[in-house]
Structure 1
Amino acid sequence: MAYRHDPDLEFLDSLSSEELNDLVYLLTHDKDGERRLTESLTQEDNYKKHYPDHKQYWKEIAAEIQCFGGNTFANMFRGGGVPYKEVLCDVCDKMKVNYNKDSSTKKIEQNLLMKILEDALEKMSAEEIAKLGKELGLENTSKLTSQGLTAIFLAVFRAGGFKSYQLTVIIVNAVLTAIFNRGLTLGGNVLLTRTASILTGPIGWIITGLWTMVDIAGPAYRVTIPAVIQIAYLRTLMENREAINIANTINL
């Protein structure tokens, strides 16, 4: 299927092949590491010609996401899938996310991530909440509640910037670990080290545990849900690239 111009996916062109690698993997492989029967990306000429240089065929990657979000027969008649925002809203409906369809794509992605985080915080004990608060550098954590942490994390998302990126890394890494048994391929990124205690602590393993039990019904959702979560991460990465590079340089 051909790529339909989509302002919400154009940023993929600014990413490196290494940064696109996780997205390509989840589009073409299932949770068992087997090739998806429903994928068509690996049959594209540009994929065959340039793999693993994903940047050379970012439009085919975007088209794959659009097609998974649409009805197969409808896609044939319109010559492509649906816009990314429609895919995102469909995923939010599936995950029972509270959002405004007229909001920006980024805001809706943040609502999805916050829903994942809220679900995890609600399952945490008072002791776990206090421990997480300490890891975040908060004071008077003995009276901290899940609602209080939710408000803090929501403020972080709304503020944007590097802290928002760090929080996105934590959430997305935990979800992808639960679904695919492999998290983000961060390589030498110091963020993995800096957030290791949180990733492996209460918030990380609770998110992982919750998503291990999630039954993602339907082959399309098995692709679109992790794909949307991955794209939310990539968008935040792209927007905070300068700050990430500075952080990596300082911690070398």
Structure 2
Amino acid sequence: MKHDKKMEDSTVRLTELLQEADQHERQLLIQYNFGEDREITIEELVRKIRSNGSHDVSRWIRGEAHYLEIVREFADRIHVSWDEQEDEEALEKRILAKVMQESWNNMTREQQQAVEKVVTPSGIEADYLSKLLIEDAFVQFLPTMGYLMTWNIARFIAAAVARGSGVALAEGWLGVVVAEMLGPLGIVAGALVFLSDAAGPAYRKIIPTVILIAYLRQKKQAVQPSR
């Protein structure tokens, strides 16, 4: 079936993405999903992600969820709409935008200005960014803003979730990847409060997993030679 092929392809793409990821990023995903460091294969990690994401009882009847199903269920939990034509990357972008929007709403103006200062070099004016966020229009517009904007937002949100995860490896990863972005702490607090309230305890492993995978996908786009 075409639907099944779309789902299977999303899991194949996830495996390929993790094969290209840095070792320390894979180790962070391992800690998110197993709760500890382990020496495992990428295939074993993908199976664990699928197992952790199979919350719907009906999925256990027909097998573990494919990655696109996991992303869709996460989107449903935080009230991000999707359609059958969207792949996982398109939906990941809108999840990131939704988290950014909710985080912004929890920031002071001083914190918002700190975020604007970091994001403006992505090629968007600070006033325009503020307007979209104030008007709750960011979810619709982020996918059209170009890879640099999406990349910076992905780093923000991945940093927020990693820093609040309690995973020991996360602090080292933050120091390497986003040290210059940790100033606006409002996005950290805002993203974590929003995700925790919206998704609930069953999603403690899947929330950081989906966010980090979205980050890895945008990182790959940002470092492509054609850019």
TM over 0.5, shorter chain: yes
The answer as to whether partners of 1:120 and 1:210 remain within 8 angstroms in 2 is: yes
In the alignment, structure 2 segments of 5+ residues that lack a partner are 1-7
Question: Equivalents in 1 of 2:115, 2:197: separation in Å?
Answer: 24
Residues 89-137 of structure 1 deviation map (CA, whole Å, 9 limit, x = unaligned) = 0111112113334212101001111111111112234444344334544
Q: Taking structure 1 as reference, are residues 186 and 156 closer, same or farther at Cα in structure 2, changes over 3 Å only?
A: farther
Q: Does 1:207 align with 2:191?
A: yes
Instruction: Give the percent of matched residue pairs that are identical in Structure 1 and Structure 2.
Output: 18
Q: Provide, for residues 151-191 of structure 1, a one-character-per-residue CA deviation record: whole Å limited to 9, x for no partner.
A: 678655534434422221111110232233664643763x5
* 2: CA distance, partners of 1:152 / 1:181: 30
Aligned residue for 1:186? 173
- The total of aligned residue pairs comes to 212
Deviation at 1:85, TM superposition (A): 0.2
Match of 2:15 among 10, 15, 26: 10
Deviations, residues 59-116 of structure 1 (Å, cap 9, x unaligned): 11111111222269766765x5121000110111112113334212101001111111
Matched, 1:19 2:5: no
1:250 paired residue number: none
Distance in structure 2 (CA, Å) of the matches to 1:76 and 1:153: 32
Residues 66 and 81 in structure 1, CA contact (< 8 A), matched pair in contact too: yes
Preserved CA contact (<8 Å) 1:70 1:82: yes
Matched residue of 1:197: which SS? coil
TM-score (ref. length: structure 2): 0.73
In structure 2, relative to structure 1, the CA distance for the partners of 1:96 and 1:153 (3 Å cut) is closer
Unaligned runs of 5+ in 1: 30-34, 36-41, 247-252
Larger relative contact order (CA 8 Å, sep ≥ 6): 2
Match of 2:48 in 1: 64
Task: Give the match's secondary structure for 2:197.
Answer: coil
Q: TM-score, normalised by structure 1?
A: 0.66
Give CA-to-partner distance per residue, 1:31-70, whole Å, 9 cap, x none. Answer: xxxx6xxxxxx9xxxx6xxx1xx5xx10111111112222
State whether residues 88 and 109 of structure 1, in contact with CA within 8 Å, keep that contact through their aligned partners in structure 2.
yes
Q: Which has the larger radius of gyration?
A: 1
Name the SS for the 1:228 alignment partner: helix
- What residue identity is the alignment partner of 2:173? L
Query: Higher helix proportion, which one?
Result: 2
